[in-house]
Amino acid sequence: MALSEQERKLLEQLEASLKAEDPELADTLSGAGQVRIHRRRATIAGIGFILGIVALIAGIQVHWAVSILGFAIMLGAAIVGINSWQRVSGDGGGVGASPGGPVGGSGPTSTASNKEFMDKLEERWKKRQQGDL
């Protein structure tokens, strides 16, 4: 549903005043803090993956248990990195979206319910504009 020019200007003014009054709250609501956290996690996971490769290769010369530990580090880092990267790139339901989090869940169920909710709101808005409500 598109906003009119007047509504868009009013929204921009509200956002600017919120940022001026409480920048931390504005960052939290915009999801910028979540994006930063997930980027940092993805970066640390990448470094952990590289360290896991080093441990895996070093374990060949030192002891087989070090290789297993290196593989476990690589696996854990890959899982954390992929999960964080999906949340940053928006593949996991939106920027900063976490299952059960304040922004909303990810997956087909929440997407379908969000669409239904937005369709209902749009229908109510149209009825209100036509004077039916």
Residue 23 lies in a domain: no
Residues 39 and 83 in one domain: yes
Q: How far apart are CA 133 and CA 124, in angstroms?
A: 8
The total of structural domains in the chain comes to 2
100 domain-assigned: no
Residue 51 included in any domain:
yes
- 76 and 37 in a single domain? The answer is yes
pLDDT by residue for the chain (133 residues), tens only, comes to: 677 888 888 888 888 887 788 777 776 666 666 778 888 888 899 999 999 999 999 999 999 999 999 999 999 999 999 988 887 776 444 444 444 444 444 455 556 677 788 888 888 888 888 876 5
Is the residue at 57 inside a domain? Answer: yes
The answer to whether 1 and 122 are in contact (CB under 8 A) is yes
Query: Would residue 58 count as lying in a domain?
Result: yes
**What domain range is 76 assigned to?**
33-91
Q: Name residues whose C-beta falls within 8 Å of residue 48's C-beta, 6 or more positions apart in sequence.
A: 73, 74, 76, 77, 80, 81
121 located within any domain: yes
Shared domain check, 116 and 86: no
Q: Which residue, chain included where needed, has tokens 């939290």?
A: 28
In a domain, 68, yes or no: yes
**CB of 77 within 8 A of CB of 85?**
no
DSSP 98: -
The answer to whether residue 127 sits within a structural domain is yes
Clarify whether residues 84 and 42 are in a common domain: yes
Tokens of 87: 């949340």
Please give the Cα distance from 7 to 77 (Å, whole number): 45
Whether residues 40 and 83 share a domain: the answer is yes
